[in-house]
Amino acid sequence: MSLFTGERVDDEETLGVTLLKDLRRVFDAHPGSPAAFTDSLVKELKELDESPWSRHDFGRGLDAVGLAALLKPYGLHSKNVRGDDGKQRKGYRRHELEYVWERYLGDSAVTEVPESSG
């Protein structure tokens, strides 16, 4: 329940929006990068000040599987991406995230949250 309005607040939705905002912070720290490897994203998310990711999942911390599960309702899935070193690994593309950021965050306000598909 929301402390201020008395309305029920869905923790999954709130966590998803927090993740989208934090992903935007991570990508903003690397302007011009068209993609990021999953393991790098997870590491940087866990290092963000005041973020829940280092304690996520009952203290175990966010991992690649948890990241994928949280992003799935937004239609985001990891794909093969190529790094600056030419190596290919799983990761997320900035242009796909930008679409989701615009749709769900706009100017940081939540416009709508997808229903869980599973």
Residue 109 has pLDDT above 50, yes or no: no
* DSSP 8-class letter at 51: -
Distance CA 14, CA 20 (A): 10
- Show the domains of the chain with their CATH numbers: 12-104 (1.10.10)
Contact residues for 72 (Cβ-Cβ < 8 A; gap 6+): 117, 118
Percentage, residues of the chain above pLDDT 90: 64
Is 78 in contact with 91 (CB distance < 8 Å)?
yes
pLDDT digits (tens, 9 = 90+) for 61-82: 999 999 999 999 999 999 999 8
Dihedral sign computed on CA atoms, order 98, 101, 104, 105: negative
Dihedral sign computed on CA atoms, order 60, 64, 68, 71: positive
